[in-house]
């Protein structure tokens, strides 16, 4: 009989020995910006947990924390008190990305460029600078990515469409939009897509929305299913089949400076992020076979 404990043990075994291990690393480093100007939709949670999941598949991953609140840095237990070498100094061009990137406690292959509260001023300070939209792109040059031997860079955006998010959109080729399975989930999405289109037209022709991730899915509500089918209708294939369930464990993990994979490897939350990451890796295979 399939008991809940047996089910959990099976899930834990899958996390500890992921079937996707040995999945091919992408030919080129993939830079994905995780954006949605709404707060609390699961950007940061998805950034750190997808990064951890990708690492478990043998990838080398950098999370760039671009939110002055520094939640991604907290979740990865990376020091981010004011004055710490951070993404802020990288944007100003004072230091290189390699000077600010630190390995997380989770894995030496999961790195983070932290955000300190100093970044809060950047939105205004950048306005008067030359190449103000290209600052992150310059920091993430091919040479730097190669020297750090990275397979994935995930940029965690603040909940706004200001210059920081524009920098993230200019630096990336792919956008991943997390959508919360809740009321008003689609509200504001048009504005985000508009901004992406503007950046694509004027600053970064390669930019595209490659991935939509449904988060905080609560199977007990009809609403969650309505949102899910509406999003699938609208975005089709780009919506990952995997949906992230609402789970207390997922929300507890950052309080311990851990990803859900470290905090509770047998949980549904951990499994779902592993499955989502696998889809993202497989998507790359499709992209490469089309080339």
Give the binding site for ligand ADP (CB under 6 A).
39-45, 71, 159, 215-216, 244, 246-247, 250-251, 269
Q: Which residues pair with 249 in a beta bridge?
A: none
* Residue 63 C-alpha from the chain's centroid: 7
Q: Using the rule CB under 5 A, give the single segment among 44-52, 185-193, 207-215, 238-246 that binds Mg ion.
A: 44-52
Q: Where are the alpha helices (DSSP H) in 120-217?
A: 122-125, 135-139, 142-147, 163-171, 189-202
* Shortest Å, Cβ 25 to ligand ADP: 26
Of the pair 71, 73, the CB lying nearest ligand ADP is at 71
Strand ranges inside the chain, DSSP E: 30-34, 61-65, 102-103, 110-113, 152-156, 174-180, 208-215
* Shortest Å, Cβ 39 to Mg ion: 7
Q: Using the rule CB under 5 A, give the single segment among 2-10, 66-74, 79-87, 111-119 that binds Mg ion.
A: 66-74
Bridging pattern class, strands 152-156 and 102-103: unpaired
Q: Which two tokens stand for residue 121?
A: 């001023």
Of 201, 194, 111, 114, the closest CA to residue 153 belongs to 111
* Shortest Å, Cβ 233 to ligand ADP: 23
Contact present, 142 and 107 (Cβ < 8 Å): no
Under rule CB under 5 A, which residues in 69-98 are in contact with Mg ion?
Answer: 71
Q: Using the rule CB under 5 A, give the single segment among 40-48, 133-141, 163-171, 274-282 that binds Mg ion.
A: 40-48
Q: 244 touches which of Mg ion, ligand ADP, none (CB within 5 to 8 A by kind)?
A: ligand ADP
* Shortest Å, Cβ 285 to ligand ADP: 27
Contacting residues toward Mg ion, per CB under 5 A? 43-44, 71
């Amino acid at each position: 009989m399939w008991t809940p404990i047996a089910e959990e043990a099976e899930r834990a075994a899958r996390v500890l020995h992921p079937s996707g291990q040995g999945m091919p690393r992408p030919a080129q480093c993939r830079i994905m910006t995780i954006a949605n100007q709404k707060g609390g939709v699961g950007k940061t949670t998805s950034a750190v947990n997808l990064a951890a999941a990708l690492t478990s598949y043998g990838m080398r991953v950098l999370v760039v924390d671009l939110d002055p609140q520094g939640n991604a840095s907290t979740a990865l237990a990376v020091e981010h008190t004011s004055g710490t070498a951070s993404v802020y100094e990288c944007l100003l061009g004072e230091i290189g990305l390699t000077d600010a990137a630190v390995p997380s406690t989770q894995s030496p292959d999961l790195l983070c460029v932290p955000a300190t509260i100093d970044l809060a001023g950047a939105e205004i300070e950048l306005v008067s600078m030359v190449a103000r939209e290209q600052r992150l792109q310059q920091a993430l040059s091919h040479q730097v990515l190669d020297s750090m031997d990275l397979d994935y860079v995930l940029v965690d955006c603040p909940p706004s469409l200001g210059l920081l998010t524009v920098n993230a959109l200019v630096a990336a080729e792919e956008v991943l939009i997390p959508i919360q399975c809740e009321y008003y989930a689609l509200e504001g999405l048009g504005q985000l897509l508009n901004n992406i289109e503007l950046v694509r037209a004027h600053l970064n022709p390669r930019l595209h929305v490659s991935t939509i991730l449904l988060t905080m899915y609560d199977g007990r509500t009809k609403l969650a299913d309505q949102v899910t089918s509406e999003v699938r209708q609208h975005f089709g294939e780009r919506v990952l089949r995997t949906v992230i369930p609402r789970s207390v464990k997922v929300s507890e993990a950052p309080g311990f400076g851990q990803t859900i994979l470290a905090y509770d490897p047998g949980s549904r939350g951990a499994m779902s992020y592993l499955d989502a990451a696998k889809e993202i890796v497989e998507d790359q295979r499709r992209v490469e076979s089309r080339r």
